[in-house]
Amino acid sequence: MSTTTTESGTSFVPAAETLGAVLAPGARPPRPSALSASLTFGWRAMLKIKHVPEQLFDVTAFPIMMTLMFTYLFGGALAGSPTEYLQFLLPGIMVTSVVMITMYTGVEVNKDIEKGVFDRFRTLPIWRPSTMVGYLLGDALRYTMAATVILVVGLVLGFRPQGGVAGVLAAIALLVAFSFAFSWIWTMFGLLLRSEKSVMGTSMLVLFPLTFLSNVYVDPQTMPGWLQAFVGVNPISHLVSATRSLMAGSPDSGEIIWVLVCGAASIVVFGALTMRLYNRK
Amino acid sequence: MRDRTTDLAIETSGLVKIFGENRAVDGLDLTVPAGTVYGVLGPNGAGKTTAVKMLATLLRPDGGEARVFGHDVLREPDAVRTRVSLTGQYASVDEEMTGMENLVLLGRLLGHKKPAAKDRAMALLEAFGLTEAAGRQVKTYSGGMRRRLDIAASILNTPDLLFLDEPTTGLDPRSRNQVWDIVRIVVAHGTTVLLTTQYLDEADRLAGRIAVIDHGRVIAEGTPGELKSSVGSGSVHVRLRDAAQRPEAERVLARELNTQVHLEADPVALTTRVPGEDADAGAERASRALAALAAAGIVVDDFSLGQPSLDEVFLALTNRPATDQNAQEEAA
């Protein structure tokens, strides 16, 4: 392989005819639609997964570990048996794992922004947010994979959702949609912070309290009042309640609307901040 | 034919960009006619890249005005973006993707349907001698191949204006020649090129006009010939066989060329500037000096007449070498 590199690197002589042929001004196609540009960037995200499949480790191994760990660690003490606890825990652990994975979005954006290719994207006459939407579309696929892995592990361990296939699918769809919306906070940090490490650090600082100070592991009734208040406003708690209700086959429309409104607000606020930073970078 | 709103590709007046305390671009006035290669020559930190980034809509100017084909870079960025392409100092391609994927991605983003984007990518890879490497990740490419892919990506939709920001920095001489050939062909097909460089030699070979910039401002502008004659025609480098003959050689050169002779650290080497209104006059004087050395019985191993370097241009224009200024900028 290395000999080929040297050869094609040096023996090439630019020929006026062949180069001239590609330079002949053909008709320029009209600029792509916002959707088409976003999907193209989504395709780029897929290609990255294809070339660096190791990055799927965090959407497979990590969720399996979380599910096994908490089911057997708390199951006996909190609900009598791991299988019984799993009926309560699984939707929550799915939310925790997927929301945790969202932080890699910021790391990816931060890694890319240093590279020359970003300058090229920014000089293209396309819908400006499409670059970022592309990342998030790729990530939505990763979220779906992680959710599926957890569901399968759960089913193997004895999770039996009352909501059936429809309920579970709706729950996963809601979770992925919320995570897509929530991820705009990470594109913002990815553009704002100077290094990958600081993006990671900030993400942990936000995600740990959000996921643990929630109703994922235990019923908030046993918590002190001030903590109950936090858990009550924590969007992750609402997401967990909505997901649980869908999987249990008794959709709680109040919680679902709460989650959708919260997601929309996240896109409006952090999406706008992201694009402001992107345009100024 | 593409419409040209104006015959000027670039027009800036009093362009300013400030980073903190540093006035990276400080009142830049440029006028670049369409259809030519325009060289922007300056040392590291002179503001070349910053200026290019503002013209390519990547950075917002803090003051002044800039128009590309008559479109204001701040008010009509999309109109500018449809007509320009940028090949930055660091390859603007995705290292983790293959050459083919890079070009198809850009083709799609420029509005081509997938089959058309693939055809176009294939034709470009062929024209740039990258067909064999099409399926390999760009990180396995040599520097020259990467640069070629980068330029191929920049002409995916033949742009009216191509920014080449130090396109040959870090390339071996062979790859550099390839890039020069490509630039000539691109310009012959009607694309205007704005080329930034640290090498007078490069600007001289490619550009019709050159602006020398320093501290974010144009300090000289003209054709390469005008620029060089303002500096003198170049310098003579002499290497002797015998170090003992150096004092004698110094006297002969000083007499013949009527300039100060610089003694290099190498005990057999001498350097001097050749005064002269143009390259021909300089060459004639240099050959007389060589004859005089021979007549004095001095054995010369190597005698060369070089074009004035950026350092010499800077010395002549600002009375201070470009390299010193680098050190200052870094310290600041």
Same domain, B96 and B209: yes
Same domain, B48 and B146: yes
Q: Does B164 touch chain A (CB under 8 A)?
A: no
Q: Residue B269 to residues A23, A116, B125, B266, B321: CA-CA distances in angstroms? A: 48, 42, 47, 5, 21
Same domain, B58 and B132: yes
The confidence band for A5, taking pLDDT boundaries of 50, 70 and 90, is very low
Q: What CATH code is carried by the domain that includes residue B274?
A: 3.30.70.600
User: How far is it, in rounded angstroms, from Cα B72 to Cα A116?
Assistant: 24
- What is the rounded average pLDDT of the residues A143-155? 94
Tell me, yes or no, whether A119 lies in a domain. Answer: yes
Residues of B in contact with A115 (CB under 8 A): 90, 94-95
Nearest CA to B206 out of B155, B158, B164 is that of B164
Determine the pLDDT at residue A24.
Answer: 75
Report the SS3 class of residue B152.
Answer: helix
Same domain, B218 and B271: no
Q: What is the pLDDT of residues A30-53, one digit of tens each?
A: 889 999 999 999 999 999 889 888
Determine the pLDDT at residue B266.
Answer: 87
Q: Which of B109, B133, B155 lies at the smallest CB-CB distance from A23? A: B155
Q: Does B175 touch chain A (CB under 8 A)?
A: yes
Same domain, B192 and B219: yes
Residues of B in contact with A20 (CB under 8 A): 185, 188-189
CA nearest to A130 within chain B: B109
User: A7 vs chain B: nearest CA distance in angstroms?
Assistant: 10
- What is the rounded average pLDDT of the residues A79-107? 89
Kindly report the three-state secondary structure assignment for every residue of B39-79: EEECCCCCCHHHHHHHHCCCCCCCEEEEEECCEECCCCHHH
The structural domain count of chain A equals 1
Tell me, yes or no, whether B98 lies in a domain. Answer: yes
Q: What ipTM was assigned to the predicted interfaces of this complex?
A: 0.85
Tell me, yes or no, whether B3 lies in a domain. Answer: no
Residues of B in contact with A116 (CB under 8 A): 88-93
Residues 6+ apart with CB under 8 A from B208: B36, B37, B38, B223
Determine the pLDDT at residue B277.
Answer: 63
Tell me, yes or no, whether B329 lies in a domain. Answer: no
pLDDT of A130 strictly over 80 = yes
Q: Does B10 touch chain A (CB under 8 A)?
A: no
Determine the pLDDT at residue A2.
Answer: 41
Element of type H or E holding A171: helix A164-182
Partners of B197 in beta bridges: B41
Determine the pLDDT at residue A205.
Answer: 92
- The token pair that represents B276 in the structure block: 């002269």
Q: Does B217 touch chain A (CB under 8 A)?
A: no
The confidence band for A10, taking pLDDT boundaries of 50, 70 and 90, is low
User: B150 vs chain A: nearest CA distance in angstroms?
Assistant: 10
Q: Does B192 touch chain A (CB under 8 A)?
A: no
The structural domain count of chain B equals 2
Domain extent at residue B225: 8-229
Taking an 8 Å cut-off on Cβ atoms, the answer to whether B109 and A40 are in contact is yes
Q: How many residues does chain B have?
A: 332
Same domain, B149 and B175: yes
Q: Does residue A69 or residue B90 have the better pLDDT?
A: A69
Q: What is the pLDDT of residues A93-102, one digit of tens each?
A: 999 999 999 9
Tell me, yes or no, whether A114 lies in a domain. Answer: yes
Residues of A in contact with B129 (CB under 8 A): 8, 11-14
Q: Does B86 touch chain A (CB under 8 A)?
A: yes
Same domain, B215 and B176: yes
Tell me, yes or no, whether B330 lies in a domain. Answer: no
pTM over 0.90: no
Same domain, B172 and B277: no
Taking an 8 Å cut-off on Cβ atoms, the answer to whether A117 and B94 are in contact is yes
Q: Does B177 touch chain A (CB under 8 A)?
A: no
Domain extent at residue A255: 34-280
Same domain, B217 and B237: no
Determine the pLDDT at residue B188.
Answer: 92
Taking an 8 Å cut-off on Cβ atoms, the answer to whether A5 and B142 are in contact is yes
pLDDT of A256 strictly over 90 = yes
Taking an 8 Å cut-off on Cβ atoms, the answer to whether B181 and A14 are in contact is yes
Same domain, B80 and B149: yes
Tell me, yes or no, whether B327 lies in a domain. Answer: no
Tell me, yes or no, whether B312 lies in a domain. Answer: no
Tell me, yes or no, whether A41 lies in a domain. Answer: yes
Tell me, yes or no, whether A2 lies in a domain. Answer: no
Strand segments (E) across chain B: 8-19, 22-33, 37-41, 63-68, 71-72, 84-87, 161-165, 192-197, 209-214, 217-222, 234-240, 261-263, 269-274, 300-306
Q: What is the pLDDT of residues A188-231, one digit of tens each?
A: 999 999 888 999 999 999 999 898 888 888 888 888 888 888 88
Tell me, yes or no, whether A81 lies in a domain. Answer: yes
Tell me, yes or no, whether A143 lies in a domain. Answer: yes
pLDDT by position in tens, chain B (length 332):
444 445 899 999 999 999 988 999 999 999 999 999 999 998 888 899 999 999 999 999 999 999 999 999 999 999 999 999 998 777 789 999 999 999 999 999 999 999 999 999 999 999 999 999 999 999 999 989 999 999 999 999 889 999 999 999 888 999 999 999 999 999 999 999 999 998 888 988 899 999 999 999 999 999 887 877 766 667 788 999 999 999 999 999 888 888 888 888 888 988 887 776 666 777 888 888 889 999 999 999 998 887 666 667 777 777 666 654 444 444 33
Determine the pLDDT at residue B305.
Answer: 81
Residues 6+ apart with CB under 8 A from A239: A95, A99, A174, A175, A178, A259
Taking an 8 Å cut-off on Cβ atoms, the answer to whether A120 and B93 are in contact is yes
Same domain, B160 and B15: yes
Tell me, yes or no, whether A74 lies in a domain. Answer: yes
Q: Does B173 touch chain A (CB under 8 A)?
A: no
Q: What CATH code is carried by the domain that includes residue B85?
A: 3.40.50.300
Strands B192-197 and B161-165: parallel
Tell me, yes or no, whether A183 lies in a domain. Answer: yes
Same domain, B262 and B118: no
Q: What is the pLDDT of residues A171-189, one digit of tens each?
A: 999 999 999 999 999 999 9
